[in-house]
Amino acid sequence: MKQTAAVRPATPRQRAARAARNGGEPTLEFADRVPYDAYVRASTLHRLQQPLSDDPGEMSFLMVSQIMELYFGLTCHELRHAQRELRADRIWEALPPLRRAALHLEGLNAAWQGLRWMTPADFNRFRDRLGEGSGFQSAMYRHLEFLLGLRDPALIRPFRRQTEVYAELTAALAAPSLWDDVTALLARRGFDLPAELLDRDVTTEHESHPAVEAAWVRIYADGGPDNHLRLLGEALTEVAERFADWRWHHVKAVQRTMGAKVGSGGSAGLAWLQRSMARVVFPELWSARTAM
């Protein structure tokens, strides 16, 4: 990992010596930039808020949106880590990043609490300033959806003139989703899955398949402690459930702040969000429970 000039590694012995020199008090003098700021880039983060109006409530809306963007990126980071482990048949090693992803999604959901104060009147004081800006246009959220198997090629079109972002989204759409990797893993573990499922066009959204459902029924029938596939199923279920929670909170936040008005980005707003919730993440993990 690249180190910035002001972040210098320290050993336990060096930390103990520094504490002894300081008499247990924190260090107050540095030759360069404060190490915390050099690592976290806090001063940079706090300069990224540029409200478009004088309304004091807009800062909450803007900063919570930025916090959510960071959580989108962090969750994607964890899911990609899990994918690498699953592709190498390391199920046990895939569990920690999946569990972290579920916890990050809890943090993402908690961010909605910072907007519970917003009424339609509050939002309307600065909404017009946003123009056509909409959360629908979040590229990192699209990355998250693609990783979870929710795929609609049309949704990358808004980014065509942002060439780097568009290239990254195109690559993400062309790569297998986490669920595609899980399905491939099941096939390698001996479950009878048809070739047309394993060789399908991954740019299209996965449709629930009875063979995948049957595989999960068999997996959950073994309740032993060494059944890592069942542990994988539960970790994936947590991710899917927390993501579904976020989508539900999004619907409720829209209802609270703007009712059924049309969306800023040109959609039908609430109605469009409600329809999108019908797309289920990891569908066979849920349908298999009926047969368990």
Specify whether the CB–CB gap between 120 and 52 falls below 8 A.
no
Q: For residue 105, give the nearest of 71, 135, 61 by alpha carbon.
A: 71
127 is in an annotated binding site: yes
Cβ distance 44 to 17 under 8 Å?
Answer: no
CA distances from residue 258 to 57, 61, 68, 122, 147 in whole angstroms, order as listed: 15, 14, 20, 10, 30
Q: Report which of 288, 277, 285 is spatially closest to residue 145, judged by C-alpha positions.
A: 277
Distance CA 27, CA 149 (A): 48
| Best CA proximity match to 115, nearest among 74, 70, 69, 67 | 67
Handedness of CA 191, 193, 199, 202 (dihedral sign): negative
By the 8 A CB rule, do 274 and 199 touch?
no
Among 130, 118, 112, smallest CA distance to 57 is for 118
| Alpha-carbon distance values, 62 to 132, 206, 255 (Å) | 15, 34, 19
Gyration radius (Cα) of the chain, Å? 23
Is 189 marked as a binding-site residue?
no
DSSP, collapsed to helix, strand or coil, labels residue 155 as helix
User: Do 57 and 118 form a contact (C-beta atoms < 8 A)?
Assistant: yes
Taking CA atoms, 288 is separated from 121, 184, 210, 241, in Å, by: 45, 18, 9, 15
* Residues contributing to the annotated binding site for substrate: 127
* Residues contributing to the annotated binding site: 127, 250
* Residues contributing to the annotated binding site for heme: 250
